[in-house]
């Protein structure tokens, strides 16, 4: 529930609601932002967004499509008595998900929509997400990136359209077969031009491999699915086309004579040289990297169900940096002297083949690469990497102490939306919280 009394204080949620005809075609609008400064009569609010389905309770507003908007404040009694409930998520005003519908608060939707709202909220507060870049073949480089650069646009979030489970259509030019959807496509809200594809991974800190360690060693498990590696490969396509001759020179000597890509017996002896060629490509062209994987973390006290005081932050991986999640394990497998191909090595072989084929022809078939080349593994996921490994790649002050506190979650989930969440009904969880089941009976 958004109460107008929340208009008091810098950095907190502010909402004005009014019933009227509006230039954007809505008869009921809600204006939501974050208080930057205030006086007795007026507030300055940034992070403006417009949303429908709201009601006005004695609060007038002057609204313009600018970063700052002034609200004229009614007396305190009016603020305290006025209440309105508008389920929504901060920053998401144009989307193919309607958060006034309980369906879009289900687990499968919330786990990708909340991270976006968190990123929008952090951007309004001037907090840049942590950016993990490729760096070198031995370790990534950790820096920061603005929310605008993540989205691929300097426009305010209310001018962008967020399309969930959508295809990034510009990549269709690289493919002979059907392009698969990705978690999120950021589009220009006015003309619908796709700006950035993003895969979203909401992860827990710590995981089971790090919960007994010092908090500076906490790590989150990452499970990478096929869509991530497909879009990683596709996002490198323009780089390949711009340096076609160089890429051919890298991969042709080791990939040019392969007869059966699905044969582990044929691929494993060549694996070390293929991975080496892939590393060379990544090192030579890392300056073309772009954001691809949005990884928010939520931190608990150990492995308990209690949120840490400082519990939320956002990490962004570039398309090239994602390679660090599998390259080390791929190299180890390539040199182990067996005929087995692990999941990380499979990912490296698939990526190398895709890049090589793009360098040779204008369009390629992706399905034989990402649905084939199984090597006795299922395609349910590409690979998983434990927190002990991700800590080494992500270690920074924000991982040890995330910047968003648990008390700010109410600024991201708006209008009582938390009431529509539907956590999984897990038998082990029900037993764990049903303390009465194990109470000692006394006669």
Per-residue model confidence as pLDDT tens digits over 328-341 = 999 999 999 899 99
Q: At what angle are helices 343-360 and 226-235 packed, to 10 degrees?
A: 30
Task: Give the whole-number percent of the chain exceeding pLDDT 70.
Answer: 80
Q: Is pLDDT of 75 > 70?
A: no
pLDDT at 9: 43
pLDDT at 333: 97
Q: Which neighbouring-strand residues pair with 175? A: 364
Q: What is the mean pLDDT of residues 264-288?
A: 97
Question: What is 77-126 written as a DSSP string?
Answer: HHHHH-EE---EETT--SBSS-TTSGGGGSHHHHHHHHHHHHHHHHHHTT
Q: Read off the pLDDT of residues 204-247 as tens digits, 9 standing for 90 and up.
A: 999 999 999 999 999 999 999 999 999 999 999 989 999 999 99
Calpha distance 27→13 (Å, rounded): 23
pLDDT, greater one: 304 or 428: 304
pLDDT at 70: 42
Q: Are 200 and 115 in contact (CB under 8 A)?
A: yes
Q: Is pLDDT of 79 > 80?
A: no
pLDDT at 29: 43
Calpha distance 237→225 (Å, rounded): 19
3-state class (DSSP) for residue 52: strand
pLDDT at 62: 36
At 195, list the tokens. 């700006």
Q: Which neighbouring-strand residues pair with 414? A: 88
Question: What is 285-345 written as a DSSP string?
Answer: HGGG--EEEEEEEEEESTTSSSEEEEEEEEEEEETTGGGGGTHHHHHHHHTSSSS---HHH
Q: Is pLDDT of 80 > 60?
A: no
pLDDT, greater one: 308 or 108: 308
16, containing H or E segment: strand 13-19
Q: Is pLDDT of 76 > 60?
A: no
Q: Is pLDDT of 128 > 90?
A: yes
3-state class (DSSP) for residue 377: coil
Most confident of 1-5, 231-235, 432-436: 231-235
Query: Could you tell me the CA-to-CA distances from 287 to 232, 236, 320 in Å, in that order?
Result: 15, 11, 9
Residue from 436, 428, 272, 275 nearest 355 by CA: 275
pLDDT at 425: 76
Q: Is pLDDT of 180 > 80?
A: yes
Residue from 209, 124, 215 nearest 401 by CA: 215
Q: How confident is the model at residue 195 (pLDDT cuts 50, 70, 90)?
A: very high
Looking at 189-279, which runs of residues are DSSP E strands?
194-200, 203-205, 222-224
- When mean pLDDT is compared across 7-11, 60-64, 241-245, 331-335, the lowest value belongs to 60-64
Query: Could you tell me the CA-to-CA distances from 10 to 37, 121, 127, 278, 306 in Å, in that order?
Result: 6, 14, 15, 49, 27
pLDDT at 85: 66
DSSP 8-state code for residue 227 = H
At 439, list the tokens. 């109470």
Q: Is pLDDT of 13 > 70?
A: no
Q: Are 4 and 82 in contact (CB under 8 A)?
A: yes
- When mean pLDDT is compared across 34-38, 116-120, 189-193, 319-323, the lowest value belongs to 34-38
Q: How confident is the model at residue 305 (pLDDT cuts 50, 70, 90)?
A: confident
- When mean pLDDT is compared across 8-22, 286-300, 334-348, the lowest value belongs to 8-22
pLDDT at 318: 98
At 324, list the tokens. 């660090």
Q: Read off the pLDDT of residues 142-157 as tens digits, 9 standing for 90 and up.
A: 999 999 999 999 999 9
Q: Are 202 and 314 in contact (CB under 8 A)?
A: no
* Residue spans of alpha helices (H) in 131-171: 147-151
Q: At what angle are helices 327-334 and 271-285 packed, to 10 degrees?
A: 150
pLDDT at 34: 53
Q: What is the mean pLDDT of residues 178-193?
A: 92
Residues 6+ apart with CB under 8 A from 418: none
Q: Are 292 and 232 in contact (CB under 8 A)?
A: yes
Q: Read off the pLDDT of residues 24-35 as tens digits, 9 standing for 90 and up.
A: 333 334 455 555
For residue 206, cis peptide bond before it (omega within 30 degrees of 0): yes
Q: Read off the pLDDT of residues 367-422 as tens digits, 9 standing for 90 and up.
A: 999 999 999 999 889 999 999 999 999 999 999 999 999 999 999 999 999 999 98
Question: Full-prediction pTM beyond 0.75?
Answer: yes
């Amino acid at each position: 529930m958004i109460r107008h009394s929340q208009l008091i204080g810098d950095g907190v949620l502010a909402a004005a609601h009014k019933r009227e005809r509006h230039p954007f075609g809505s008869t009921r609008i809600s204006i939501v932002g974050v208080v930057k400064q205030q006086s007795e009569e007026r507030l300055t609010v940034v992070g403006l967004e417009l949303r429908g389905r709201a009601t006005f309770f004695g609060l007038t507003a002057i609204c313009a499509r600018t970063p700052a908007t002034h609200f004229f404040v009614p007396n305190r009694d009016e603020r305290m008595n006025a209440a309105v409930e508008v389920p929504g998520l901060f920053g998401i005003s144009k989307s193919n998900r309607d958060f006034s519908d309980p369906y879009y608060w289900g687990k499968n939707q919330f786990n990708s929509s909340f991270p976006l709202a968190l990123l929008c909220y952090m951007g309004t507060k001037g907090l840049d997400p942590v950016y993990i870049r490729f760096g070198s073949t031995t370790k990534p480089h950790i820096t920061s990136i603005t929310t605008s650069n993540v989205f691929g646009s300097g426009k305010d979030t209310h001018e962008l359209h967020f399309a969930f489970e959508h295809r990034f259509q510009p990549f269709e030019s690289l493919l002979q077969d059907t392009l698969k959807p990705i978690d999120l496509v950021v589009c220009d809200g006015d003309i619908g031009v796709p700006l950035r594809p993003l895969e979203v991974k909401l992860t827990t800190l710590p995981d089971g491999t790090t919960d007994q360690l010092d908090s500076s060693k906490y790590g989150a498990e990452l499970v990478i699915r096929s869509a991530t590696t497909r879009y990683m490969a596709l996002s490198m396509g323009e780089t390949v086309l711009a340096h076609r001759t160089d890429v051919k020179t890298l991969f042709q000597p080791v990939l040019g004579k392969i007869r059966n890509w699905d044969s582990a017996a044929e691929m494993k002896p060549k694996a070390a040289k293929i991975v080496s060629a892939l590393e060379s490509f990544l090192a030579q062209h890392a300056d073309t990297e772009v954001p691809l994987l949005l990884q928010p973390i939520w931190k608990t006290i150990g492995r308990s169900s209690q949120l840490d005081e400082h519990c939320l932050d956002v990490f962004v991986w570039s398309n090239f940096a994602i390679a660090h999640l599998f390259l080390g394990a791929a190299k180890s497998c390539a040199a182990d002297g067996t005929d087995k191909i692990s999941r990380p090595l499979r990912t490296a072989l698939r990526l190398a083949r895709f890049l090589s084929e793009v360098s040779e022809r204008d369009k390629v078939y992706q399905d034989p690469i990402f649905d084939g080349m199984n090597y006795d593994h299922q395609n349910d996921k590409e690979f998983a990497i434990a927190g002990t490994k991700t800590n080494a790649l992500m270690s920074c002050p924000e991982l040890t102490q995330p910047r968003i506190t648990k008390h700010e979650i109410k600024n991201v989930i708006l209008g009582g939306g938390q009431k529509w969440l539907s956590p999984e009904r897990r038998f082990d969880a029900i037993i764990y919280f049903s303390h009465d089941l194990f109470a000692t009976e006394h006669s």
